[in-house]
Amino acid sequence: MSNSVRRALITGITGQDGAYLSRLLLEKGYEVFGLLARRGTDTTWRLRELGVAAEIRLIDGDLLDLSSLIRALEISRASEVYNLGAQSFVGTSWQQPLLTAQVNGQGAINVLEAVRLVNRDARFYQASTSEMFGLAQSPEQNEGTPFHPRSPYGVSKLMAHWATVNYRESHGLHASSGILFNHESPLRGLEFVTRKITHAACAIKNGRQAKLYLGNLDAKRDWGFAGDYVEAMWAMLQQPKPDDYVVATGVATSVREFCRLAFERVGLDYAQYVEIDPGLFRPAEVEFLLGDSTKARSRLSWKPKTSLPELIAMMVDADVRRQTK
């Protein structure tokens, strides 16, 4: 490989964001390496769906195994490291709080430590989250809004976020955090409420499912398209100085409205099929999140390209195709 080729290492490469980021970096001429934790199920389907699987070099490793992270950095010789690996489902974090803390918190510190030991000049990106705001202290949340996480997931991500700041200030690493608000796509897992909704709308339309059971329909989130958000990740690591950035659309929408738009896409009235299951409410609810991405828009020249109706249409249409194969 030519020394002029830029190299990137992505943890969590088989997830939604990892797949879209891989495609973006490949389009920009990068050599892309991905850390792959071997599991019993096939996790590379998203990379295949985007048509990039054959162009990525996968390296066996795990966020909880520092030696494998050091090895991955030595093999990849990466100048940019994107830590997207996580136990990323908020609901699961109440059932597995210790694992969530280890993977999301300690795992991020392991990656930072590997960068410090192997290549301090490599630029590091940490996938932070709006769930760190939790019980939001202001109507819109930006980089200066106090954190108040309401789930073990949010707590674990806050640990990783502050570790990123600490490595930046203590060791001089070019380490940045993207505080991304909810971002979805046709590559979302079925455990996430947005994909659960779009999949169910199609299944009900096809007669394969009778009802959709959900928890808090009045919770509001700032939803964007993952394909847009990975562009902000890349832009952060191109800046002369590392920093933290909120990435969001600035529009909050309820779960109820998301249902309405998704069911409308297949010609159905959601009210006839969606029922509330009290068992799906979380122990501590996050009622409202709305991001202020002024800083990212001005410094990174980033803005979302995809509206929520466009995103929902994209997701529903993808599920229609999958269910009619």
Catalytic residues: 129, 131, 153
Q: Angle CA(181)–CA(15)–CA(9) in degrees, nearest 5? A: 100
What tokens appear for 288 in the block? Answer: 């409202």
Instruction: Return the percent helix, strand and coil in the chain, to nearest 5.
Output: 45, 15, 40
Q: Which of 73, 107, 67 is nearest to 87 (CA)?
A: 107
Whether residue 31 contacts residue 8, with contact meaning beta carbons closer than 8 Å, is answered with yes
The neighbouring-strand residues paired with 220 are 254, 288
What tokens appear for 123 in the block? Answer: 């630029």
Buried residues in 29-55 as b, exposed as e (16+ CB within 10 A): ebbbbbbbbeeeeeeeebbeebebbee
